[in-house]
Amino acid sequence: MRVLVTGGAGFIGSNFVRATLGRGVDVEVTVLDYLTYAGSRSSLFALEDQFKFVEGDIADADLVNHLVSEADSVVHFAAESHNDNSLADPSPFLRTNIIGTYTLLQAVRTYGVRYHHVSTDEVYGDLALDDPAKFTEYTPYNPSSPYSATKAASDMLVRAWVRSFGVRATLSNCSNNYGPYQHIEKFIPRQITNVLTGVRPKLYGAGKNVRDWIHVEDHNSALWRVLESGEIGRTYLIGSDGELDNLTVVRLILELMDKDPNEFDHVTDRAGHDLRYAIDSSMLRDEFGWQPHYTSFREGLRSTIDWYRDNRAWWENEKAAVEARYQAQKV
Ligand code: NAD
Ligand code: DAU
């Protein structure tokens, strides 16, 4: 199978490429990535001779048509992915997440190529902190931020292209990923690298917001199940029952790094901050027998901390710029 992976130099995409090349099956991988601030060839370190890398924009129709015409399937990760950045400047989110997805959909429509759309649980908005409910495949869309609104728009385009043009697409909406190669602007790696550089972790507001954590390898193992066995037109929810509030996560990071769990700062809350995400992944588990490998968040977090400690060269040069961006955004 010839797979075109968009956003393969980003966090989840690079882990997907690594996992795919390690599966021992006959797959030819091409990565299309624009290498924005969030993408890095170093995330694909030591794999270079096993796949083809194309630096380019998913909104470039000529390039996308050419690459799609040579593929059997497309797995679409490329996106602007950070909520805080979308609040500071929504425009690249509209271009990449909506126009970029549209460009890919037109190409897979033209060449009859199988397409999988990687999306987020944030399209469903948020749940109340005291509500036992979880998101299901039938939860109505209700996005809150510019980021999640553009992801919701892109999901809707995929559904329309399936129904109107017969595009062979599946969708998945996953909860918060953690693990190696995640950009240090994101919550968990930001706090780990804060501690490693002698800075106190930064918690938005009171830290009561809940996220449903899944290890990136578990997300990617689920994606392969959907790619191989998913029903065209269907949406699959991916999660591993990892609900924790942010305060608990910050304290656990400090504890696992041998620091006082109270050594963090409360900072200005994110505008429109979603309260709680929670995924009901029973459909995926029941239909495909999928199970997450990482059932202990504590152990997954411990290995993630070790990875950032052991791979300083991967993130160290970025740290000052990321924190300067947060300073400019006043968080
Ligand atoms: P990321 O920001 O780490 O990586 C995004 C990648 O896309 C980068 O390599 C970047 O260079 C590339 N890119 C950006 N604009 C591009 C363009 N115009 N053309 C080509 N490449 C471009 O993101 P991530 O966290 O790995 O997320 C990947 C996908 O998974 C996104 O679609 C995101 O919405 C979705 N998702 C993420 C999570 C999460 O917790 N991180 C959870 C659920 C779904
Ligand atoms: O739910 C899936 C989504 O998870 C993905 O679609 C997004 O691409 C991904 O970035 C993530 O979105 P969040 O906004 O939940 O992730 P983030 O890492 O930015 O923040 C996680 C939580 O931690 C959130 O409640 C905000 C909080 N936070 C974040 C940062 C960066 C802090 O308290 N302090 C921080 O410094």
Kindly report, residue by residue over 271-303, the tens digit of the pLDDT: 999 999 999 999 999 999 999 999 999 999 999
Q: Give the largest CA-CA distance in the chain.
A: 57
Choosing from 15, 124, 176 the residue with most ligand 2 atoms within 8 A of its CB, the one to mutate for a pocket test is 176
Which residues contact residue 281 at a Cβ distance below 8 angstroms, ignoring those fewer than 6 apart? Answer: 222, 237, 238, 239, 240, 241, 290
Does residue 181 have its Cβ closer than 6 Å to ligand 1?
A: no
Does residue 58 have its Cβ closer than 6 Å to ligand 1?
A: yes
Same domain, 116 and 196: no
For residue 111, the tally of other CB atoms under 10 A from its CB is: 15
pLDDT tens for 230-257 read 999 999 999 999 999 999 999 999 999 9
Distance, in Å, from the CA atom of 237 to the CA atom of 161, rounded to the nearest integer, reads: 20
Strand partners of residue 243: 212
Q: Is residue 29 part of a domain?
A: yes
Distance 291 CA to ligand 1 centre (A): 24
Determine the structural domain holding residue 100 and report its residue range.
2-178+212-238
Does residue 216 have its Cβ closer than 6 Å to ligand 1?
A: no
Q: Is residue 104 part of a domain?
A: yes
Distance, in Å, from the CA atom of 208 to the CA atom of 201, rounded to the nearest integer, reads: 15
Distance 79 CA to ligand 1 centre (A): 4
Distance, in Å, from the CA atom of 18 to the CA atom of 270, rounded to the nearest integer, reads: 33
pLDDT tens for 150-178 read 999 999 999 999 999 999 999 999 999 99
Choosing from 36, 83, 151 the residue with most ligand 1 atoms within 8 A of its CB, the one to mutate for a pocket test is 36
Does residue 203 have its Cβ closer than 6 Å to ligand 2?
A: yes
Stated pTM of the model: 0.99
Same domain, 93 and 232: yes
Same domain, 172 and 273: no
Same domain, 95 and 41: yes
Does residue 83 have its Cβ closer than 6 Å to ligand 2?
A: yes
- The domain that holds 256 is classified in CATH as 3.90.25.10
Q: Kindly give the pairing relationship between strand 235-238 and strand 169-174.
A: parallel
| Residue with tokens 């507001």, as numbered in its chain | 205
